[in-house]
A and B are shown apart, each in its own frame.
Chain A
Amino acid sequence: MSTAKADLRSALEARFGDALALETWSGPGGRSLPLAAPIGDEAWSELLRFARAERVRVLPVGLGSKLELGLVDQVELLASTRSDTDVIDYEPGDGTLTARAGARLGRLAQHIRVGGHRLTPTVPEPERTTLGGALAAGQDGFDRLRYGPIRHQLLGLRMALADGTIVKSGGKLVKNVTGYDVHRLLAGSLGTLAVIVEASLRLYPLPETHVLVRASSGSTNDALTTSRALLALPIRPVAVVARNTGGSGWTIEVVLEGRDDVVTWELARVREVLPVCTTEGGRHDLGAPHLRAMSALERRSGSWPPLTIRTRPSRLADALVIVEGACLAASLRPEIATHPGLALAWVWFGDELPAELGLRLDRELRADGHALRWRGPQRPPGGQDPLRPDVPAPARRTMFNLERALDPDGVFPGLRLDDAP
């Protein structure tokens, strides 16, 4: 294995010289892989042609912040967009942005601020998140409630296919139905179908002002009931978040943004539901500490949540009852953060999650009809596999066909669709 790796490295050097800025990636368990960072369509094209000819499996990555899903175990080479960072086109008069996949979301946000625009998602670590990485992972920001998921922001893509051809899908226009939405297929595909090398996003007006409202709540039930009352208001909040705190209580946070007069009006409505609350706010600036804290919600406790639950809004309480019940029985106090409007919940278990408890949660949540995704080493053995889509077999079969259609030779790692024919 190690000779093969050494061979690959020297083969890459022989073929590309310094052009790929080869580095070594070191992962958990002492694993290390060569990491290439091509710049420009041509370089991507050549790297993939090489990989295909040499039968080297490649995982496209950004800065490698989401490798715990396990795809990295299937490959011999990492190909990073980290150096391919140019802004291709920002058209303030049209409200669209096109950039290379390695561009950091934080820098892009700064870039378009001058023209009075904001982009979404507002992710936990925008300076360390690439555009391509966020797209491939289908990453959310805390502002999703108002602006929608990242796949809805995507206007078009350039992608490098497994055979090295560079193709486009969609375009730079806010409205366009020409051809298939292959870009929608790529969003959230985790780098298993093609490399996203360039993407165009829809932009939004930079709000004049923002405000973060915070209030405490008693039980889980109270927190969810209050959240629903907030969500029923005729306002368009950027986020309504409920998270449990150190003690037994919950905190509810609402973020409003937009025109001054509208935010003032909406704040008054929120206060009707949350008569006792604190507010922070002012001119809109994502660098403000309280908004940074909001956007970092998904990395509470410094790590991605090991368990993500997705369900219907009306069923969120049921899911939390299962989580809290099982954890209480095991004398474990989980940290929970939820977006009740999105019916999304993240759960952290602390340092240790007993496998037995993990399995019980896995079993009970799924039996009750909730979708879940484990992430990282706390996934209990036998628990829902994040690489094996939890969809009916015919849907998995179609996914398998799509994977084979775009990557017939297996240049990229794959989802686990092996029960397909």
Chain B
Amino acid sequence: MDTKLVAALRAVVGERGLIDDPTRLLPYESDGLAMLAVRPPLVLLPRTTAEVARCMQLLAEYGVSIVARGAGTGLAGGATPVADGVVLSTARMRDVLEVNVEDRFARVQAGVVNVDLSGLCQAHGLAYAPDPSSQMACTIGGNVANNSGGPHCFKYGATTRHILGLVIVTHDGEILDLSEPVVDPDGYDLVGLFVGSEGTFGVATEVTVRLVPAAPVVEVQLAIFADLDAACDSVSEIIKQRLEPSALEILDKLTIEAVEDSVFAAGYPREAEAVLLIEVEGVETEVNGIAREIRTILEARGALEIRTARDATQRKKLWAGRKGAFGAMGRIAPDLYVADAVVPRTKLRDLVRRTIEICRERDLRLANVFHAGDGNLHPNICYDRRDPDEVRRVLAAGHAILEACVEAGGALTGEHGVGLEKLAEMELLFTADDLAAMCRVREAWDPERRLNPGKLLPMHACLEIRTAALPPAPTSLDT
């Protein structure tokens, strides 16, 4: 990296806002997808929109690429650095700028942590609805980049439905102030387009989010099944009967065991083949009515036992098991590959079965824990990164699962994003024309393709040369 550039950047962000020591850069080499690693030459930690803009002007002058990073909890390699580009982290941008209770919105810096946002408005009876499982660490800026989901998106919709405005710094360091929370965008919906663009359109530095009234009554039901199929079928039936719980989550046996061994032990019965976690919220009458009808379905589908919790502590405990499930898998395997496919909710059972077959054929251990209500599968495949053959089998299984889901009318990702991980599979879902159109949209924002280059769109779709596919071992991409 040009020393004059580094000096100029240092002048903008200060000594603590810049990391160029090779040792301290090392932990930035991966995000939540530890399989991929590229050590960046420089990390910037600006504090304000103005600093971000100034940095991006300088980087534009020198033609340097930029990979934006929130908390680095993404599971698709969306924040994996590039070898000759800087990482721009929002970790020091965590000011709450405004909480407007009357108009039900909040304006925050991009580095504010998701769970803090909810904590912030709790006292006013309001909530920020999207709750990715990593909410205790992930940032709102990262949520915007990935259009993140979470269990409650079943009722409330993904992040995009909750973003009212943004301040975006563009590739050349210009500030797009779209932060005013009006009900409709004037002209094109730049905010709606930006959400989910995985850092390829610009860097969101401030976010205006919608706050929703917290439900007065919340009931969590835990249904225990001796059979995973029955749990899946229950979900399909609930959807078919158009009942509206606020979340529907399934955990299979292996997941239950891992969770029960972890700090998030939630009292899930270890002998169950599957548990279905259901949350119903609303006013008393509504919750009673919906919960009753759901119970009827669960019983008809052979639930062995149904536990319910309305008390906040008990509910939190049942949920903690679900939210900590991914990490808890660390106990049953050194490494974990999490797929994120979506399927029509009529086909849940078939596709879950298919994932099990695919893994069995390749002699891999599979744990299923997923947002069943949205048809969002999360097959978690256990492996050990030190076993190259196993890594190859895992990647092949991941690919086969996505293929099966696309064939069934599904899609590649429900909430984690495409990142680097699912680049190859983009062509399963989209034609060359589809991808070319997306490339054109991307170039309208970033004509030099310096923003998170190589992510989201297969490069050859943009007439670029595609670099290496996923590496067989963790360190081979390290420079």
Contact = CB atoms under 8 A, between A and B. Distances in A.
A181 B437 contact: no
A181 B183 contact: no
A7 to B, nearest CB: 31
A93 B187 contact: no
B386 interface: no
B433 interface: yes
A184 B187 CA distance: 12
B342 interface: yes
A205 B240 CA distance: 10
B178 A259 contact: no
A94 B242 contact: no
A93 B346 contact: yes
How many interface residues does chain B have, given as a range?
A: 35 or more
B426 interface: yes
Q: Which of A138, A180, A342, A399 has the most CB of B within 10 A?
A: A180
A365 interface: no
Contacts of B100: 312, 314
B441 interface: yes
B445 A343 contact: no
A179 B431 CA distance: 12
A404 B440 CA distance: 9
A66 to B, nearest CB: 15
Given A149-B183, A188-B189, A406-B440, A181 B195 contact: yes
Contact of A116 (B181, B242, B443): B242
B47 interface: no
Interface in A135-168: 138, 148-149, 151-152, 161, 165-168
Given A95-B239, A234-B216, A262 B346 contact: no
Contact of B431 (A167, A180, A373): A167
Contact of A180 (B153, B197, B415): B197
Contact of B444 (A171, A175, A390, A401): A401
16 contacts: A96-B344, A152-B157, A172-B409, A176-B414, A178-B413, A181-B196, A187-B189, A206-B242, A262-B283, A265-B286, A312-B100, A312-B103, A371-B186, A391-B186, A392-B176, A395-B176
B188 A188 contact: yes
A398 B153 CA distance: 30
A312 B181 contact: yes
A311 interface: yes
Interface of A: 91-96, 116-117, 138, 148-149, 151-152, 161, 165-169, 171-182, 184-185, 187-189, 193, 205-206, 234-236, 258-259, 261-262, 264-266, 310-314, 342-344, 371, 373, 389-392, 394-399, 401-402, 404-406, 415, 417
B1 to A, nearest CB: 28
A318 B461 CA distance: 51
Contacts of B417: 177
Contact of B344 (A91, A138, A313, A406): A91
A261 B440 contact: no
Given A166-B433, A259-B290, A343-B103, 12 more contacts: A148-B161, A177-B147, A178-B412, A179-B438, A189-B188, A205-B242, A312-B181, A312-B182, A314-B100, A344-B183, A390-B186, A405-B443
A416 to B, nearest CB: 10
Nearest to A396: B187
B103 to A, nearest CB: 5
Given A175-B342, A175-B415, A93 B426 contact: no
Given A205-B242, A310-B183, A261 B285 contact: yes
